[in-house]
Amino acid sequence: MSTTAVFYDPIYLEHDTGQGHPERPERLETTMQLLDEVRLSEKLRIISPRDATVEEIQLVHPKGYINKVKSTAESGGGWLDPDTHVGARSYAAALKSTGALLEGLERIFSGDIDNAFCMVRPPGHHATAERGMGFCLFNNNAVAARFAIKEFGISRVFILDWDAHHGNGLQDIFYDDDKVLYISLHQYPHYPGTGGSSEVGIGKGEGFTVNFPLPARSGEEVYLAAFDQVIIPVARQYEPELVLISAGYDGHFSDLLCSMLLRGNSYAEMATRLKGLAEEFCGGKMMAALEGGYNLVGIAISMADTIAVMAGEEIRVEEDTGGDIIFPSSRRGMEIVEATRETISSYWSV
**pLDDT, tens only, 83-93:** 999 999 999 99
- Evaluate whether residue 170 is within a structural domain: yes
Q: Is the pLDDT of residue 231 over 80?
A: yes
| pLDDT tens sequence across 112-142 | 999 999 999 999 999 999 999 999 999 999 9
Q: Using 50, 70 and 90 to split pLDDT, how confident is the model at 236?
A: very high
User: Dihedral, CA atoms, 178, 163, 145, 2, nearest 10 degrees?
Assistant: -120
- Evaluate whether residue 258 is within a structural domain: yes
- Evaluate whether residue 349 is within a structural domain: no
- Evaluate whether residue 46 is within a structural domain: yes
pLDDT at 2: 72
Hey, which residues are catalytic here?
Answer: 126
Cα-to-chain-centroid distance, residue 144: 12
Q: Which residues have a Cβ under 8 Å from the Cβ of 262 and sit 6 or more positions away?
A: 219, 220, 223, 251, 252, 253, 302
Q: Is the pLDDT of residue 7 over 60?
A: yes
Q: Is the pLDDT of residue 324 over 60?
A: no
| pLDDT tens sequence across 34-69 | 999 999 999 999 999 999 999 999 999 999 999 999
pLDDT at 182: 99
- Evaluate whether residue 57 is within a structural domain: yes
- Evaluate whether residue 148 is within a structural domain: yes
Average pLDDT over residues 13-19: 95
Task: Please count the structural domains in the chain.
Answer: 1
User: 312 is in which domain, residue-wise?
Assistant: 4-318+328-344
Q: Using 50, 70 and 90 to split pLDDT, how confident is the model at 309?
A: very high
How far apart CA 133 and CA 148 sit, in angstroms, is: 24
The CATH number of residue 247's host domain is: 3.40.800.20
Give the chain's mean pLDDT: 96
- Evaluate whether residue 350 is within a structural domain: no
Asked if 30 contacts 296 with a C-beta cutoff of 8 angstroms, the reply is yes
Q: Which residues have a Cβ under 8 Å from the Cβ of 293 and sit 6 or more positions away?
A: 27, 163, 248, 249, 250, 252, 255, 299, 302, 303
Q: Are strands 4-7 and 115-118 parallel, antiparallel or unpaired?
A: parallel
pTM above 0.95, yes or no: yes
- Evaluate whether residue 323 is within a structural domain: no
Average pLDDT over residues 174-190: 98
Q: Is the pLDDT of residue 320 over 90?
A: no
> What's the chain's length in residues?
350
